């Protein structure tokens, strides 16, 4: 028996995060064996989730068997959301998980930088001024030095044809990092952990979409539409499944079949005319000591029997032993040794049928408390395998030694107390407050990782074919849903109690007292304490009963608090804390749950804004037709409107004349094809004296308009103003929109967030009045952000102004302008 002693400094760990033990079918095992014999890597670089070429990634990873990764400069925090209301950090978390879901399909890996997606940018100069170019270049260099790609591929050019400033910036960063990664004088602090690396060449993956064709006959061409008979799919089909995971962006794609040519333009490096990897040895011959391994792998492939995969175990053991014997002095050898050992272990587990997992009795636990663990082990194929011991979260149990019988499930139970210093779970890039430029990551070794490692881990010491291995599994929560079946979710380490504040901003228009309900949730049983609040100067606060007592884990207590501003108030932050046994717990939990990604959450300070400003309003009843998702209804309720969400049934059968205004949510005409059916009723509502306010919609291939919108024609363009501080000119200051019931002036466009507006109207019919003019620096003014038309006794409004961002952010001028639109008087 060959005994391999694995010390912690050289141990290769195998972690699956929120996923359970991997199960590979015979086709995947065969492809994995073939990949063992491919020694090469490629890194694809672009700006956002959904920018990547999924067909190319799938082709490189599964057809060429290369180690393939996508480096997304941002997590997509500044985009729109078609599946819900989340914006900012929460949307970035959704899009991170959508990328990981896509990578599980196409076979590539996923990395990120610290750059925050602050919204649409029109040029790289603006982008770099916000991100700090050198900081993000450092992250790209770090990714290259860690991943060691032979070839780098950019999605976009450095010359602007990609449209978005982030797109162009991603290419500029890639090109500069190509050289900087090989220069020991650039970012030398990284060399404590990684070595310099020179990729052989860097390409631009040219494109023909969006009316821009950058391909050319003299560019290098690759047909990535080939069919893989082992998988039973072509790469167009795999790419469709992968791309369709970008559900928040509406990127569901049809399966493509047949030839598909990708074009590449060499930017730097060795010349290549016929192949991306021309002249680059992708076999074990590139590593002088490793030539014997190639033959062993070929022999293992030849012996592979899909009906009896365990026959391949001895070959894999010998391959692993040969990998272990490789010289530890050569850095490139060590890199491929670690990578291929990892692949080899996955194949050993699959061929032996060895499956292991560890799951908790609940999905939450608290530092210092006990956790109930269940561990399951089964060997489902022939051949000998032993379980020598299990290490439960740092505590070893050697009493579990077993020679595993074929297809017998072994169950183990354990109750373990967590250390009091166990850190809370939270996306690592959101642990610290950050600005619009980039995330703050104090542990530099985490930079680039797509998500956290599992909160808790169990280590299995196993023996397969005489080879001793340590296999790590993250502790997850496993449960059965009566409709969806067996499901998994990540384990969460949470504070003893968390506080939920219903709104992130509370807007007061006068000094009328308001009752706000604070919800304290217990993450353990028998939790008692008091709610304490800190408010800005000049705010009256009364907590009638601050004490709470929660008997059951997961239970909640509601504490009612009366708050209102006095005459000498200051707007500011309200801070909440739950004091339990002398300890202050100050966190709030925001949960994100969709079927296409694992459940996610964000721990953040339990705080909210308290804001008072003067506002007058007319009318009371508002109808709201939901779109892709926004928080506008909650904002309108805060300032005293009675808002009714108009369902299809209400629009079909109800009396909508009672509403002084009807507002459509963002992208309602992109997501609700029933609005075509209701067009005549809505126009009749306006004709008889109602106000219909339509917030922005897109009009493109991804988001087409599904219904007629206004009483007169206009076109929705891609015009936008991304500078939230851009000057706004009021074109018709005498118009009612700017005078009733609130006087609107330039100061009402102060303190806006992220952008002025998007998808402005163009080519309006003569019946529309264009009321505002604005532009980004150096650009022609656009007058389509707010158009109004009289129609019968009522008024129709289309606006691209970003009310969906400004109202939740508590921007006073945005509230006043929206109220004026709602309050437009009837026409005589």
Q: What is the pLDDT of residues 26-53, one digit of tens each?
A: 999 999 999 999 999 999 999 999 999 9
> Per-residue pLDDT tens for 152-194?
999 999 999 988 999 999 999 999 999 999 999 999 999 999 9
pLDDT attached to residue 535: 96
**Residue 172 is encoded by which pair of tokens?**
């500029």
Residues whose CB is less than 8 angstroms from the CB of residue 211 and which lie 6 or more positions away in sequence, other chains included: none
Tell whether the torsion through CA atoms of 681, 685, 688 and 694 is positive or negative. Answer: negative
How much is the average pLDDT of 105-120?
96
Q: Please give the sequence-ordered ranges of beta strands (E in DSSP) within 341-456, or none if there are none.
A: 354-360, 364-365, 370-379, 385-392, 395-397, 402-403, 410-417
pLDDT attached to residue 681: 97
pLDDT attached to residue 701: 59
pLDDT attached to residue 520: 98
pLDDT surpassing 60 at residue 146: yes
The upper half-sphere exposure of residue 464, i.e. CA atoms within 13 Å in the direction of its Cβ, equals 34
pLDDT surpassing 60 at residue 663: yes
Which 3-state string (H, E, C) describes 591-650? Answer: EECCCCCCCEEEEEECEEEEEECCCCCCCCEEEEECCCCCCHHHHHHHCCCEEEECCHHH
Which 3-state string (H, E, C) describes 334-355? Answer: HHHHHHHHHHHHHHHHHHHCEE
Distance of alpha carbon 6 from its chain centroid, rounded?
Answer: 35
794-804 residues labelled b (16+ CB within 10 A) or e (exposed): bbbbbbbbbbb
How large a percentage of the chain has pLDDT more than 90? 90
**Residue 218 is encoded by which pair of tokens?**
């003299």
pLDDT surpassing 50 at residue 8: no
- CB of 186 closer than 8 Å to CB of 144: no
In this prediction, residue 210 has a pLDDT band, given cuts at 50, 70 and 90, of confident
What residue spans of 646-724 are helical by DSSP H?
A: 648-653, 668-671, 679-687
pLDDT attached to residue 400: 84
pLDDT attached to residue 705: 79
**Residue 266 is encoded by which pair of tokens?**
């060499």
How much is the average pLDDT of 599-624?
95
Q: Please give the sequence-ordered ranges of beta strands (E in DSSP) within 636-784, or none if there are none.
A: 642-645, 661-664, 691-694, 715-716, 728-730, 761-762, 768-770, 772-774
Instruction: Give pTM, 2 decimals.
Output: 0.91
How much is the average pLDDT of 470-475?
95
pLDDT: which is higher, 701 or 158: 158
Q: Rounded to 5, what percent of the chain is helix, strand, coil?
A: 25, 30, 45
Prior bond to 741 cis, omega within 30? yes
**Residue 590 is encoded by which pair of tokens?**
């925001």
pLDDT attached to residue 406: 96
Tell me the angle at which helices 331-352 and 313-324 cross, rounded to the nearest 10 degrees. 160
Q: CA-to-CA distance for 709 and 798, rounded, in angstroms?
A: 9
pLDDT surpassing 80 at residue 11: no
> Per-residue pLDDT tens for 214-242?
999 999 999 999 999 999 999 999 999 99
How much is the average pLDDT of 530-542?
96
How much is the average pLDDT of 243-271?
94
> Per-residue pLDDT tens for 275-305?
999 999 999 998 877 778 999 999 999 999 9
Q: Strands 715-716 and 607-612, how do they pair?
A: unpaired
Q: CA-to-CA distance for 773 and 808, rounded, in angstroms?
A: 24
How much is the average pLDDT of 781-805?
97
Q: CA-to-CA distance for 542 and 51, rounded, in angstroms?
A: 51
- CB of 501 closer than 8 Å to CB of 516: yes
pLDDT: which is higher, 259 or 395: 259
Sheet with 497-500, side-by-side order of all strands:
497-500, 514-522, 556-565, 539-543
The upper half-sphere exposure of residue 44, i.e. CA atoms within 13 Å in the direction of its Cβ, equals 28
List Cα–Cα distances, 771 to 104, 381, 731, 754, 814, in angstroms.
Answer: 49, 73, 5, 22, 15
pLDDT surpassing 70 at residue 20: no
How much is the average pLDDT of 646-651?
97
Q: CA-to-CA distance for 534 and 521, rounded, in angstroms?
A: 19
> Per-residue pLDDT tens for 612-633?
999 999 889 999 999 998 999 9
- Chain position carrying tokens 């006073």: 812
In this prediction, residue 5 has a pLDDT band, given cuts at 50, 70 and 90, of very low
pLDDT surpassing 50 at residue 534: yes
Provide the mean pLDDT of the chain: 93
Terminal-to-terminal C-alpha distance of the chain: 96
Can you tell me whether residue 826 is helix, strand or coil? coil
The upper half-sphere exposure of residue 485, i.e. CA atoms within 13 Å in the direction of its Cβ, equals 0
> Per-residue pLDDT tens for 236-249?
999 999 999 999 99
> Per-residue pLDDT tens for 332-386?
899 999 999 999 999 999 999 999 999 999 999 999 999 999 999 999 999 999 9
List Cα–Cα distances, 189 to 195, 445, 446, in angstroms.
Answer: 11, 12, 15
pLDDT attached to residue 699: 85
Q: Strands 457-464 and 467-481, how do they pair?
A: antiparallel
Q: Which letter does DSSP use for residue 60 in this model?
A: I
pLDDT attached to residue 336: 95
Q: CA-to-CA distance for 470 and 482, rounded, in angstroms?
A: 35
In this prediction, residue 702 has a pLDDT band, given cuts at 50, 70 and 90, of low
pLDDT surpassing 60 at residue 12: no
How large a percentage of the chain has pLDDT more than 70? 97
**Residue 452 is encoded by which pair of tokens?**
């956290």
- CB of 659 closer than 8 Å to CB of 623: yes
How much is the average pLDDT of 754-781?
96
pLDDT surpassing 50 at residue 4: no
């Amino acid at each position: 028996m060959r005994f391999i002693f694995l010390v912690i400094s050289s141990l290769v760990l195998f972690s699956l995060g929120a996923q359970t033990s991997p199960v590979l079918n015979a086709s995947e095992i065969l492809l994995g064996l073939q990949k063992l014999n491919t020694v090469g890597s490629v890194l694809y670089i672009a700006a956002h989730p959904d920018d990547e070429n999924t067909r190319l990634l799938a082709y490189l990873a599964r057809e060429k068997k290369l180690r393939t990764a996508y480096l997304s400069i941002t997590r997509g925090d500044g985009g729109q959301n078609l599946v819900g209301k989340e914006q900012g950090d929460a949307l970035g978390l959704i899009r991170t998980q959508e990328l990981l879901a896509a990578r599980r399909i196409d076979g590539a890996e996923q990395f990120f930088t610290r750059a925050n997606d602050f919204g649409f940018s029109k040029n790289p100069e603006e982008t770099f001024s916000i991100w700090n170019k050198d900081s993000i270049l450092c992250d790209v260099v770090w990714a290259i030095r860690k991943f060691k790609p032979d070839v780098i591929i950019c999605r976009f050019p450095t010359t602007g044809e990609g449209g978005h400033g982030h797109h162009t910036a991603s290419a500029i960063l890639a090109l500069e990092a190509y050289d900087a990664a090989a220069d020991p004088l650039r970012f030398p602090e990284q060399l404590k952990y990684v070595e310099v690396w020179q990729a052989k060449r860097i390409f631009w993956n040219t494109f023909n979409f969006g009316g821009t064709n950058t391909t050319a006959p003299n560019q290098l061409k690759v047909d990535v539409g080939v069919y893989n008979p082992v998988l039973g799919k072509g790469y167009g089909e795999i790419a469709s499944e992968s791309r369709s995971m970008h559900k928040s962006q509406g990127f569901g794609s049809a399966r493509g079949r047949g030839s598909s040519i990708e074009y590449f333009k060499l930017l730097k490096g060795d010349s290549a005319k016929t192949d991306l990897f021309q002249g680059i040895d992708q076999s074990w011959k590139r590593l002088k000591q490793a030539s014997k391994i190639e033959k062993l792998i070929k022999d293992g492939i030849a012996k592979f029997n899909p009906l009896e995969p365990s026959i391949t175990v001895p070959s894999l053991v010998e391959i692993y032993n040969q990998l272990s014997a490789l010289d530890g002095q050569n850095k490139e050898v060590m890199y491929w040794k670690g990578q291929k050992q990892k692949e080899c272990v996955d194949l050993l587990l699959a061929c032996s049928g060895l499956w292991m997992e560890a799951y908790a009795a609940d999905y939450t636990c608290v530092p210092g408390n006990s956790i109930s663990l269940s561990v399951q082990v089964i060997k489902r194929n022939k051949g000998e395998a032993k379980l020598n011991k299990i290490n439960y979260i740092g505590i070893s149990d050697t009493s579990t030694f077993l020679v595993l019988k074929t297809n017998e499930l072994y169950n183990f139970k354990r109750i373990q107390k967590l250390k009091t210093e166990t850190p809370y779970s939270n996306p690592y890039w959101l642990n610290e407050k950050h600005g619009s430029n980039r995330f703050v990551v104090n542990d530099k070794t985490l930079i680039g990782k797509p998500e956290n490692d599992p909160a808790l881990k169990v280590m299995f010491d196993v023996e397969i074919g005489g080879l001793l291995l340590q296999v790590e599994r993250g502790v997850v929560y496993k449960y059965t849903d009566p409709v969806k079946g067996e499901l998994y979710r990540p384990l969460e380490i949470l504070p003893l109690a968390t506080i939920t504040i219903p709104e992130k901003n509370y807007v007061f228009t006068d000094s009328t007292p308001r009752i706000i309900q604070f919800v304290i949730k217990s993450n353990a049983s028998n939790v008692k304490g008091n709610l304490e609040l800190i408010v800005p100067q000049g705010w009256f606060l009364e907590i009638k009963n601050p004490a709470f007592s929660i008997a059951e884990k997961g239970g909640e207590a509601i504490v009612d608090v009366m708050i209102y501003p006095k005459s000498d108030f200051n707007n500011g932050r309200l801070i909440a804390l739950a004091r339990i046994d002398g300890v202050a717990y100050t966190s709030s939990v925001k949960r994100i749950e969709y079927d296409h990604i694992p459940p996610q959450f964000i721990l953040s300070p339990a705080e909210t804004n308290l804001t008072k400003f003067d506002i007058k309003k007319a009318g009371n009843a508002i109808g709201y037709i939901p779109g892709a998702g926004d928080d506008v209804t909650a904002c309108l309720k805060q300032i005293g409107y009675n808002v009714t969400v108009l369902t299809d049934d209400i629009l079909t059968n109800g009396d909508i004349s009672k509403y002084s205004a009807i507002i459509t949510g963002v992208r309602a005409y992109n997501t609700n094809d029933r609005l075509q059916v209701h067009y005549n009723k809505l126009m009749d509502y306006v004709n008889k004296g109602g106000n219909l306010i339509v917030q922005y919609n897109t009009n493109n291939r991804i988001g087409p308009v599904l219904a007629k919108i206004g009483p007169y024609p206009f076109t929705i363009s891609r015009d936008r103003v991304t500078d939230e501080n851009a000057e706004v000119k009021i074109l018709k200051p005498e118009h009612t929109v700017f005078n009733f019931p609130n006087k609107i002036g330039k100061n009402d466009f102060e303190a806006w967030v992220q952008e002025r507006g998007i998808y402005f109207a163009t080519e309006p019919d003569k019946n529309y009045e264009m009321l505002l003019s604005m532009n980004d620096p150096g650009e022609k003014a656009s007058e389509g952000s707010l158009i109004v038309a009289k129609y019968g006794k009522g008024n129709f409004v289309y606006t691209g102004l970003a009310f969906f961002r400004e109202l939740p952010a508590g921007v006073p001028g945005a509230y006043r302008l929206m109220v004026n639109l709602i309050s437009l008087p009837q026409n005589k």
